[in-house]
Amino acid sequence: MSVSAGVTVDGTLSAALERAEREEVEKVLAQTNGNVAQAAARLGIRRTSLYRIMKRCAIASPARSRGGPHA
């Protein structure tokens, strides 16, 4: 028996979970105008955990993408 609900075209649940995680992080970062501390609080995780997720999902650091002082 094959279950297809929640499985992506490439057939992996992990890919679907990573895509959902990425979309949620991007949405919350947009809602907080790129404030990572506020986004982490809304997501219920530590700021360092959010940075780890951002790195794994190749989400640019908001300060760097806006041309901040360290860009």
Dump pLDDT digits (tens) for 14-70. 999 999 999 999 999 999 999 999 999 999 999 999 999 999 999 998 764 555 544
Rounded distance between C-alpha atoms, residue 59 and residue 65, angstroms: 10
Using CB atoms within 10 A of its CB, is residue 30 exposed (0-12), middle (13-18) or buried (19+)? exposed
What pLDDT is recorded for position 62?
75
Range ranked top by mean pLDDT from 2-6, 7-11, 40-44, 58-62? 40-44
Residue with tokens 């997720």: 53
Q: Angle CA(51)–CA(67)–CA(23) in degrees, nearest 5?
A: 40
For the cut 80, the answer to whether the pLDDT of residue 3 exceeds it is: no
Q: Where are the domains of the chain?
A: 13-59
pLDDT in the model for residue 9: 57
How far is residue 44's CA from residue 13's CA, in Å, rounded to a whole number?
A: 23
Q: Residue 7: what pLDDT?
A: 52
CATH architecture of 13-59: Orthogonal Bundle (1.10)
Rg (CA), the chain: 15
pLDDT for the residue numbered 70: 46
